[in-house]
Amino acid sequence: MKDYKTSRNRSSDGSGPGSDIEERVVFVNRCAKVVKGGRRFSFSAIVVVGNRKGMVGYGFGKANEVADAIRKGGEIARRSMFAVTLQDRTIPHEVTGRCDGGRVLLKPASPGTGAIVGGGMRAVIELSGIHDVLGKSLGSSNKVNVVKATMAALEALRSQEAIKASRNA
């Protein structure tokens, strides 16, 4: 499938004017329902949005037209955005994320390494603003589950201060 890239600025979604939220379509799936007159097609799209400064979200939109599915996915993704814990240009520690059959492993990398990730992970990592990271998809190659597992891994990241505070409490 094609990797669709769009950049939209919307003030109606609460992000404010000039928020520079980027949107990337990771995968579009076509589903066919066989009816009396032939086949009826519907589409689903998984969309990742982020500002490349530590905020990222994803959405799964379904509709009878591709454009509507992408639009719905983008709206859902904007509502599900959260802040990612970063340490300079990388992640603070090694983390594993799981969703159904999809498992991903993310490791911090030294400056200048770049984002060595593939598949559905690349869109999430790039739009979250992480520049140096090593990633590996260990389970299923299903793009929906890989994106969800990557998001779960990023949500599990904690800073050193948060870990120290939880140990002292």
What whole-number percentage of the chain has pLDDT above 90? Answer: 62
Alpha carbon distances (Å) from 135 to 52, 67, 94, 167: 18, 31, 10, 28
Output the pLDDT for position 64: 95
Q: Tell which of 50, 82, 114 closes a domain.
A: 82
95-144 tens-digit pLDDT: 999 998 989 999 999 999 898 998 889 999 999 999 999 999 998 889 99
Helix axes 120-128, 143-155, angle to 10 degrees: 30
Section 1-27 average pLDDT: 61
Which has the minimum average pLDDT: 19-23, 39-43, 78-82, 152-156? 19-23
CATH of the domain at 101: 3.30.230.10
Q: Tell which of 82, 99, 133 closes a domain.
A: 82
Output the pLDDT for position 87: 86
For the chain, what is the mean pLDDT?
Answer: 86
Boundaries of domain holding 24: 4-82
Residue with tokens 């591709």, as numbered in its chain = 66
Section 67-96 average pLDDT: 92
Q: Check residue 54 and report its DSSP letter.
A: S
**Domains in the chain: how many in total?**
2
Inform me whether the pLDDT recorded for 72 exceeds 90.
Answer: yes
Pairing of strands 82-83, 55-63: antiparallel
Closest to 103 in 3D by CA, of 59, 134, 147: 147
Same domain for 46 and 75, yes or no, is yes
Q: Tell which of 33, 60, 82 closes a domain.
A: 82
Which has the minimum average pLDDT: 27-36, 51-60, 96-105, 156-165? 156-165
Output the pLDDT for position 9: 43
Which has the minimum average pLDDT: 50-54, 89-93, 162-166? 162-166
Backbone angles phi, psi at 134, to 5 degrees: -110, 130
Distance (Å, whole) CA 156 – CA 61: 25
Question: pLDDT: is 141 or 45 the higher one?
Answer: 45
